[in-house]
């Protein structure tokens, strides 16, 4: 790859595109770029795994190609498919031509020979419908390939990815091996619903994004919700950090904190009050039980946080 970036450049570049990250994320990106290795990103939902890929694409000014995984995802959806409609249409249109071609041929063997001269016309690249993986390999410019929620896909698909991840190439039976024109930057994200295979992990750099600490979260809120005043920001981040320590079904992630900050901004809140929190808690927590739990603990939480 042509340009070199330092870890600081990556960090500030990400910050410009609105993605605030810590050193270990920036370092992993640096290594991924330098070593040309895919990155497996794990962490609880909503900490910005997918955002990281978007930020990288924006930072490098690359195209982002996204492949959302789900159960039953197969090669036809991920890699390539033949354009069956086009193939059928062309054979129908060319039916008449067939007579011209075979004119003067004697016997079956000669006719077949003549047909062979045209090779595998119907199985050439013109009839190939590239899907995300192939698009990423064929792209002229650099691309960022995001394979989202790989843990949702089947085992078979995971094994199928191995060739792509280690050599940046893919084998298509009818055409042969297709090598990447330029190595894409590959992100795989996982929510850990199942253990990924060792073979896959071995080929990737591994990045675990935990919930952010309060300083980082304050920075994130500042960039994403710029209109919010400093006092409220500190308060709401403190509150969210405190909530994460409770025993909840689903802990509020960064995206929820951002949503909450936006909500409070819309309501023209100046500072957190228990009433305000109570009415907007459903933005932050997504389970009835969790909401009730926090409501019960509200007073102790507030005492702990703001009684100084």
Partner 1 sequence: MDRILVDFIKALRGNGVRIATSETLDAIHAVDLVGYRERSRLKSALSATLAKSEEEKARFNTCFDQFFQFNDLQTLAQPPAPQAPPGNRLQQMLNGAQPAAEQAQSPLGQMLMAGDSEAIAAAMAQAASAAKVRDIRVITQKGLYGRRMMMAMGLEAMEQEMWAAEAATDAQQQALGDALRKARELLREEVKHYVERQYLLQASGDSRALRESVMRETSLENLREFKDVQGLVRKLAKRLVATHSRRRKIYQRGKLDVRRTIRHNIPYSGVLLETRWKAKRVDKPKVMAICDVSGSVSQYSRFLLMFLYSLTEVIANVRAFAFSSDLQEVTQWFLRENLDTAIELTLKEVGGGSTDYGRSLDTFTHQCLQQVDHRTTVIVLGDARNNYGDPRTELLQAIHNRARQLIWLNPESRLRWGSGDSEMKRYKPHCSWAEPCQSLNQLERFISNLLRYSQ
Positions that interact with partner 1 (CB under 8 A): 7, 23-24, 27-28, 30-31, 34-35, 37, 39-40, 42, 71-72, 76, 82, 84, 87-88, 154-155, 192, 194-195, 198, 201-208
Nearest C-alpha neighbor of 54 from the set 44, 66, 69, 37: 66
Task: Give the nearest distance from C-beta 125 to partner 1 in angstroms.
Answer: 17
Task: Give the nearest distance from C-beta 191 to partner 1 in angstroms.
Answer: 12
Task: Give the nearest distance from C-beta 276 to partner 1 in angstroms.
Answer: 35
Nearest CB to partner 1, comparing residues 206 and 304: 206
Task: Give the nearest distance from C-beta 156 to partner 1 in angstroms.
Answer: 9
Nearest CB to partner 1, comparing residues 71 and 230: 71
Nearest CB to partner 1, comparing residues 123 and 302: 123
Nearest CB to partner 1, comparing residues 16 and 24: 24
Nearest CB to partner 1, comparing residues 24 and 273: 24
Task: Give the nearest distance from C-beta 292 to partner 1 in angstroms.
Answer: 21
Nearest CB to partner 1, comparing residues 85 and 274: 85
* Measured distance CA(264)–CA(268) in Å, rounded: 6
Task: Give the nearest distance from C-beta 259 to partner 1 in angstroms.
Answer: 26
């Amino acid at each position: 790859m042509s340009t070199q970036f330092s870890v600081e450049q990556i960090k500030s570049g990400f910050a410009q595109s609105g993605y605030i990250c810590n050193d270990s994320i920036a370092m992993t990106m640096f290594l991924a770029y330098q070593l040309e290795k895919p990155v497996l990103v794990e962490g609880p939902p909503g900490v910005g795994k997918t955002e990281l890929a978007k930020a990288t694409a924006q930072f490098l000014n690359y195209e982002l190609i996204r492949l959302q995984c789900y159960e039953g995802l197969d090669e036809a959806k991920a890699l390539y498919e033949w354009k069956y409609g086009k193939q059928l249409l062309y054979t129908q249109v060319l039916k008449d031509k067939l007579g011209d071609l075979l004119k003067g041929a004697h016997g079956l063997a000669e006719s077949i020979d003549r047909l062979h001269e045209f090779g595998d016309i119907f199985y050439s690249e013109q009839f190939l419908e590239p899907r995300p993986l192939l698009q990423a390999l064929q792209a002229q410019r650099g691309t960022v390939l995001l394979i989202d929620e790989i843990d949702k896909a089947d085992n078979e698909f995971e094994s199928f990815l191995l060739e792509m991840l280690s050599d940046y190439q893919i084998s298509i039976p009818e055409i042969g091996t297709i090598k990447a024109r330029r190595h894409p930057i590959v992100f795989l994200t996982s929510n850990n619903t199942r253990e990924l295979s060792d073979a896959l992990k071995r080929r990737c750099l591994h990045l675990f994004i935990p919930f952010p600490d309060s300083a980082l979260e304050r920075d994130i809120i500042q960039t994403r919700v710029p209109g919010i005043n400093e006092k409220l920001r500190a308060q709401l981040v403190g509150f969210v950090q405190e909530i994460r320590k409770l025993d909840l079904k689903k802990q509020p992630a960064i995206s929820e904190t951002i949503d909450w900050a936006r909500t409070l901004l819309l309501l023209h809140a100046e500072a957190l009050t228990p009433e305000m929190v109570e009415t907007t808690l459903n933005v932050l927590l997504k389970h009835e039980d969790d909401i009730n739990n926090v409501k019960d603990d509200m007073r102790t939480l507030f005492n702990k946080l703001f009684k100084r």
